[in-house]
Amino acid sequence: MSHPLDAIPPHGGHLINRVCPPSQREEFLDKAGHLPRVQLDDRAFSDLVMIAIGGFSPLTGFMEQADYDRVVNEMHLINGLPWSIPITLSVTEEVAAPLKEGGLIRLDDFTGRFVGVLELTQKYQYDKLHEALHVYRTNEEQHPGVQVVYNQGAVNLAGSVWLLQRDSDPRFPSYQIDPAESRVLFKDKGWKTIVGFQTRNPIHRAHEYIIKCALETVDGLFLHPLVGATKEDDIPADVRMRCYEIILEHYFPKDRVILAINPAAMRYAGPREAIFHALVRKNYGCTHFIVGRDHAGVGDYYGTYDAQYIFDEFDSAALGITPMKFEHAFYCLRTQQMATTKTSPSSREERVHLSGTKVREMLRRGELPPPQFSRPEVAAELASAMQIKELSYDI
């Protein structure tokens, strides 16, 4: 009998697993003191984890130059598969100089803990400006993704990786569901169609509206907030997770939603990251992916619906996951419900739009945004966190 998800195989057809089996882990630990070391920053560590658990299938490690060049220039791997974001491990020339191709490199996290091994196959230099202009569509250092590229080392280290062990995230252990597990959960629930929703912000009414529109047409929702590295002014993951729990408890059917964390880091690459996010959710077993207004955008670097248009540049069969494109939603005072320009007859003055700046100001004063913008329970949680931590949130 066929598996319900045979129609949505992982990207490349095989779910990658680069988590060390116990015997190999012991072998690496025995060699630990003799291996050259490279320390990973937050994003590189997230990438290591995502590669190891299969979230970045078909990648088995950090990209060699041929894949890097084709991804940057053409948004495909050298094997022809769509891929829109370069996954690289960059170090300084001083760090790279003594490292030997063909050797093993010990990978430490930002605390100095031994977390993985790189089988070094290649060292190569790359053009930071070229990467910025192609991946982020700008060379401005103010862009958070470009800033990371400019600040990282001039040499990329490439090769397959091993994660020593898959540790539980101490912040959200019950929501750590890796691709192999999510696929089993979908099968156990009998879901044949699953829509993934990427978020790095609390869910407000516009998000809720488009999610529920999507949920009308599929079997289940995979709510998959990103908890890896984000901008300093983004809302902390623990606050966001409490908001997700609140809105699921009060406003969603419990048997049709799975909440799980995505350990990846944000790139803020707009259209390219929308493709990337869709492929990651394909690896988790999703058949559909929501793409809304300014997906993965930042500032005014991308057009409102550029992240939707980019899907038209790819062969849908090669992508293997269906984008669900939604207009910007708002509360319509005339119809007294959430709507978009596709469904509302209202004038601009009859639409409740609140800017992030205005909402932040209200929360800092202890005022709750109107229920047309945010569910009151979620707004109360945000207001409490805002006042306690005195944080500047990007909503």
* Mean pLDDT for the stretch of residues 139-153: 97
Q: Active-site residue among 200, 267, 351, 360?
A: 200
pLDDT in tens, 186-230: 999 999 999 999 988 888 899 999 999 999 999 999 999 998 877
What confidence tier does 236 reach under pLDDT thresholds 50, 70, 90?
confident
pLDDT in tens, 113-134: 999 999 999 999 999 999 999 9
Question: In this model, does residue 44 exceed pLDDT 80?
Answer: yes
What confidence tier does 7 reach under pLDDT thresholds 50, 70, 90?
low
What is the average pLDDT score of the chain? 93
Cα 169–Cα 172–Cα 177 angle in degrees, nearest 5: 75
Strands 114-119 and 288-291: unpaired
Q: Is 360 considered catalytic here?
A: no
Position 267 scores a pLDDT of 95
Distance between CA 8 and CA 278 in Å, rounded? 12
Percent of the chain at pLDDT > 90 equals 82
Contact 259, 244 (CB under 8 A): yes
Question: In this model, does residue 357 exceed pLDDT 70?
Answer: no
Contact 327, 306 (CB under 8 A): no
What confidence tier does 388 reach under pLDDT thresholds 50, 70, 90?
low
Q: Which residue has the tokens 């793409």?
A: 291
pLDDT in tens, 248-303: 999 999 999 999 999 999 999 999 999 999 999 999 999 999 999 999 999 999 99
Q: Is 351 considered catalytic here?
A: no
Position 2 scores a pLDDT of 35
What confidence tier does 1 reach under pLDDT thresholds 50, 70, 90?
very low
Distance between CA 153 and CA 131 in Å, rounded? 13
Position 334 scores a pLDDT of 95
Question: In this model, does residue 91 exceed pLDDT 80?
Answer: yes
Position 5 scores a pLDDT of 42
Indicate the pTM of the whole model.
Answer: 0.94
Query: Helices in 58-178 by DSSP H: which ranges?
Result: 65-74, 93-96, 128-131, 144-151
Provide the Cα torsion 341, 346, 349, 350; round to 10°: -110
Span of 11-20, 66-75, 365-374 with lowest mean pLDDT: 365-374
What confidence tier does 3 reach under pLDDT thresholds 50, 70, 90?
very low
Percent of the chain at pLDDT > 70 equals 95
Q: What is the set of domains in the chain, with CATH numbers?
A: 22-163 (3.10.400.10), 173-262+268-389 (3.40.50.620)
Q: Active-site residue among 17, 201, 293, 364?
A: 201
Contact 280, 55 (CB under 8 A): yes
